[in-house]
Amino acid sequence: MPHATSYSFCSVYAKTVMSNSNICLLLGATGVGKTLLLKRLQNFSLHGLGELGTPPSTLPTVGTNLTDLTLKKKRVTLRELGGCMGPIWPRYYKDCSSVIFMVDSSNIAQISSSCIQLLSVLSAEPMCSVPVLIIFNKRDMPCTMGLTEIKSLFRMDDIIASASQPITTLELSVHTGQGLQEVLAWLENIIVK
C-alpha cells in the first residue's frame, strides 16, 4: 500500500505544479518545425535573440517535448505534441492556457490536412476561449506560397470571424529566426494577462 500513497502524493503534486503554470500546447503536422521552434525559444531564454547561431538538428517528435521559459518573470511551459499524436491531442486540451499551431507553408500537399487539424482544435469545447497563434513557418523556402494565398486556402478570414477564441497569425522562419521575436511577444502578452 505504500506505493499507492506515494503515487497519490506524486500525482497530486504534479497536478498542482502543472495547474500553477501557463501551459502552451505546440501543435501541427509532422515536419512543420515545432521541435526547432522549441529549441530556438529555449536558446533565446538562455542567450537572447542575438545569439541564434546555426539551427540545431532535430528529429520528428514521437510523444511530447516540454520546455520551460521564463518571460517577464513568469513561467510558461511549452508542450510540443508530435504530429503523429494528432488523434490524442484532445486529451491535453483541458490543461492548456494557450495554443501555437504551426503550418509548413512550403508543403502544399499538407495544407488541407493542416486546415482540418486546425478546425478540429478550434472547435473542441475546452478550447473555446484559449488564445491561439497560427504560425505559417518555413518562409525562407523557395517554394513557399505567399501569405495571402495560404490564408485564402485556409479561409483564415472565415475561421477568425467564426472562432470564439482570439486568433493571431504570423509568418515565421524558425530556421533563420525571422519572426521569432513576434512569437515571443505573443507569448509574453498571453502570460501577462
For 104-159, the pLDDT digits (tens) are 988 888 888 899 999 999 999 999 999 999 999 988 887 767 778 888 888 888 99
* Mean pLDDT score of the chain: 81
| Residue 188 to residue 178: CA distance in whole angstroms | 18
Whether 25 and 100 have beta carbons less than 8 Å apart is answered as yes
The residues pairing with 101 across neighbouring beta strands, listed in sequence order, are 27, 134
| Residue 175 to residue 56: CA distance in whole angstroms | 9
| Residue 85 to residue 28: CA distance in whole angstroms | 10
What pTM value is reported for the model?
0.83
Tell me the three state secondary structure of residue 72.
coil
CA gyration radius, the chain: 17
End-to-end CA distance of the chain: 43
4 or 119: which leads in pLDDT: 119
3 or 142: which leads in pLDDT: 142
Is the model's pLDDT at 43 over the cut of 70? yes
Cell of 190: 498571453
Lowest mean pLDDT among 96-100, 127-131, 141-145, 185-189: 141-145
Tell me the pLDDT band of 91, cut-offs 50, 70 and 90: very high
